[in-house]
Chain A
Amino acid sequence: MALNFPDIGENIALEALVNKTAPQNLVLRLYSNNITPSDTDTAGTYTEATFAGYSAITLAGASWNAAAAGSIAYSAEQTFTRSSTGAPENIYGYYVTQATSGLLVYSERDGSAPFAVTNLGDAIKITPTITAN
């Protein structure tokens, strides 16, 4: 599915583009409420996952590959792995915030959501990629 840059995320990108506001590392987070991303969203729209072993992942600026053909990708696939079996938690997608401000930058809901993360070793894998068109 397509990434959704809400109004607030577009503003962050624009201010970074013209060097008005310094960019920050991004933080990749899974969400567990049944949200379809919209352009009015903020970070508070999303309920972050809490399953055992879950931890948000910081995406270091230096670890992004060089942009090419209007697209930029993170250098490695990122994995969220459940560390013990327990009550299932439905995961609908992910959202990305700024590391310092906590502001929402973009989000994406998977077209096959939800994914029930239940058992030890259940994993969700994401390679962050942004394409401009």
Chain B
Amino acid sequence: MAWYKFWKKKEPVTFDIQTPTKLQRNEWRHGMWVMTSKGLGIIFQMGNDLLIHLVDPRTGETYNATIEHRQAVRQAKYSEIPTIRKLHLSKEKAELLGYM
């Protein structure tokens, strides 16, 4: 059957390189909404620990600051971000930022 192999048309090979459509951005970053034991906040400065500005859920404004270990905080959920601070951010877009 060697002649058959010779004449058999090669199947094209497709290399399908895709980037994730739902990039999970869970790494700590400046400006990230987080939940602490003291309430909702935003990461303002990062070192070994996180300097977090606590945000009033009603006004969206900062009222205090706290330093937290990274293990002591988690990324905020979309529903926890004050409405006034997510006026133009749909839930779908928020998920791309890691706010589930």
Contacts and interface: CB of A to CB of B under 8 A. Distances in A.
Interface of A: 1-2, 4, 6-8, 33-42, 44-45, 109, 111
B contact residues, range = 20 to 34
B99 to A, nearest CB: 8
Contact of A42 (B33, B87, B93, B94): B87
Contacts of B45: 1-2, 111
B32 A36 contact: no
15 contacts: A4-B30, A7-B93, A35-B62, A36-B31, A36-B53, A36-B55, A36-B62, A37-B42, A39-B29, A40-B33, A42-B87, A44-B87, A45-B84, A45-B85, A111-B44
A4 B60 contact: no
Main secondary structure of the interface of A (DSSP, over half): loop
B31 A37 contact: yes
A9 B42 CA distance: 18
Contact of B61 (A34, A41, A42): A34
Q: Closest 7 CB pairs between A and B?
A: A36-B53, A4-B31, A34-B61, A39-B31, A36-B42, A2-B30, A38-B31
B42 A38 contact: yes
Given A37-B30, A40-B81, 16 more contacts: A2-B45, A33-B61, A34-B62, A35-B62, A36-B42, A36-B55, A37-B31, A39-B32, A39-B97, A40-B89, A40-B99, A41-B31, A42-B87, A44-B87, A45-B84, A111-B45
